[in-house]
Amino acid sequence: MTAIVNEKTAERVWTLLEPILVRDGYEIVEVEWAREGGGWALRVYIDRPGGVTIDDCQAVSRTVDPVLEVEDLVEGAYHLEVSSPGLDRPLRKPADFARYAGQRAKVRTHGPVETGTGPRRNWSGILKGFADGMVEIDVDGRLHRIPHDQVAKAHLEYDFEADLRRKE
């Protein structure tokens, strides 16, 4: 399968499952459809206020597995995994960038984006939010505005050193 087919499968699964999970108090953070070790894996990352537990993941898995079987969106055999987004939570929707303003993040674009200091594809810094269709990130004291439709991948970057300083 090509990457485009994989993305379309993930988007179809997202569209099908989102209303069900929202009804049950969860948010879909990401859906991945990937080939692994001779088989296929469908990963659904979920979140909710206060975080998710193993029990939440099991409950969601029991809820969505029969829905996926009935709708038959995914051809062939696959392994369903339901998980929390983890410390490096993916950022996808405009609301994600606004909600996690003030935290460290990494952003990668589909292609080079002009920044005023030359084109670049990768940023790592403090997320400032989302405004006027642009992801805002501060890298070394310089604010960069990245068109949301150019973002290929973005995720939080856990700052272990800052966490250790807070605990001292």
Q: What is the pLDDT of residues 42-69, one digit of tens each?
A: 999 999 999 999 999 999 999 999 999 8
Please give the torsion angle defined by the CA atoms of residues 116, 149, 120 and 107, in that order, rounded to the nearest 10 degrees: 110
* Residues 84, 87, 93: CA angle, nearest 5 degrees: 70
CATH number given to 94-167: 2.30.30.100
Give the integer Cα–Cα distance in Å for 125 and 13: 32
What's this model's pTM, rounded to 2 decimal places?
0.79
Pair 44, 31: CB distance under 8 Å: yes
State the pLDDT at residue 162: 67
Q: Tell me the angle at which helices 3-23 and 54-71 cross, rounded to the nearest 10 degrees.
A: 120
**Which is the CATH superfamily of the domain at 3-83?**
RimP-like superfamily, N-terminal (3.30.300.70)
For the stretch 100-118, pLDDT in tens is 999 999 999 999 998 777 8
Delimit the domains of the chain by residue range. 3-83, 94-167
